[in-house]
């Protein structure tokens, strides 16, 4: 649920975070929200997102899994399915630094205006 609030990931990124780790229990039918919000957090903060979601039925809730690893450009590096699994990906921190230099969104922020 916290994924819906962009303020915490932004604060972490401004303090130097390079990876946002998101453990979650997102049930069906909100899979597209899960995907969109994770990609948004990666893109807007120019960092890697490693997100693990529950899968299977627990009580009255049915979870869709779909754990993801996303790079700072919002590209999908690894994806889990609907069953329990492990995913992995190489995180290219040089890519992240080059991307941050190419699009210096942190330096271009004007928080005094909002």
Q: What tokens appear for 21 in the block?
A: 């780790």
Contact 95, 80 (CB under 8 A): no
Classify 10 in phi/psi space as left (phi over 0), alpha (psi -120 to 50) or beta. alpha
Encode pLDDT of 3-29 as tens digits: 999 999 999 999 999 999 999 999 999
Encode pLDDT of 72-90 as tens digits: 999 999 999 999 999 999 9
pTM: 0.93
- Chain position carrying tokens 């690893």: 69
- Picking from 24, 46, 20, 21, the residue whose alpha carbon sits closest to that of residue 33 is 24
């Amino acid at each position: 649920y916290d994924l819906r609030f962009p303020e915490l990931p932004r604060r972490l990124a401004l303090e130097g975070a390079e990876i946002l780790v998101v453990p979650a229990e997102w049930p069906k039918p909100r899979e597209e929200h899960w995907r969109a919000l994770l990609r948004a957090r990666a893109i807007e903060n120019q960092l890697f997102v490693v997100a693990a979601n529950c899968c299977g039925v627990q009580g009255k809730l049915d979870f869709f899994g779909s754990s993801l690893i996303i790079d700072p450009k919002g590209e999908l590096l690894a994806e889990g399915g609907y069953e329990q699994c492990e995913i992995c990906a190489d995180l290219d921190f040089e890519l992240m630094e080059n991307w941050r230099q190419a699009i210096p969104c942190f330096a271009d922020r004007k928080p005094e205006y909002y």
